[in-house]
């Protein structure tokens, strides 16, 4: 395995080669998958010898492959308690706590609004569970 970059640490200019290839109207899920693939490809050993446009094209192809193989299904990708172990998720929660809106947080972190909302929802569930675990129910 190798150390994968955190998308929140990537400047928008580094993601631009991928953004340029994503057609208007793509579903958020496809955009998120393509971005995840791209970050992994850019982080992989030897990636510096490959043009970012080629890595972006490969990320698009991988996403279309997943859409072809799994399209119409809802595979469960577990996150659970590990959501806050992600620096990106921590950044999302931090920005939301500062009062930024979902769109602004999404733009800042390179995520979609729906993913920002999912991270917030999971964080809220974790916070509720922590508080409820402290209740005296005697």
DSSP string covering 2-52: -PPPPGGGS-HHHHHHHHTTSPTT--HHHHHHHHHHHHHHHHSTTGGGS-H
What does the pLDDT read at residue 2?
Answer: 77
Indicate the pLDDT class of residue 18, thresholds 50, 70 and 90: very high
What does the pLDDT read at residue 90?
Answer: 85
pTM: 0.58
Q: What is the DSSP letter of 81?
A: G
pLDDT at 135 over 60: no
pLDDT at 83 over 60: no
pLDDT at 82 over 60: no
What does the pLDDT read at residue 39?
Answer: 94
What does the pLDDT read at residue 112?
Answer: 87
21-65 per-position pLDDT tens digit: 999 999 989 999 999 999 999 999 999 999 999 999 999 999 999
Q: Can you tell me the mean pLDDT for 69-97?
A: 77
Of 58, 31, 27, the closest CA to residue 42 belongs to: 58
Name the percent of the chain lying above pLDDT 70: 88
């Amino acid at each position: 395995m190798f150390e994968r970059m955190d998308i929140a640490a990537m400047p928008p200019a580094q993601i631009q080669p991928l953004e340029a290839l994503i057609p208007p109207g793509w579903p958020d899920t496809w955009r998120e998958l393509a971005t995840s693939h791209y970050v992994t490809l850019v982080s992989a050993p030897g990636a510096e010898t490959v043009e970012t446009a080629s890595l972006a094209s490969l990320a698009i192809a991988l996403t279309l492959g997943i859409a072809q193989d799994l399209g119409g299904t809802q595979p469960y990708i577990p996150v659970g308690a590990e959501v806050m172990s992600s620096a990106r998720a921590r950044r999302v929660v931090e920005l939301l706590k500062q009062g930024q809106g979902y769109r602004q947080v999404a733009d800042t972190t390179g995520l979609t609004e729906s993913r920002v909302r999912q991270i917030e929802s999971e964080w809220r569930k974790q916070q509720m569970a922590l508080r409820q675990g402290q209740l005296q129910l005697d």
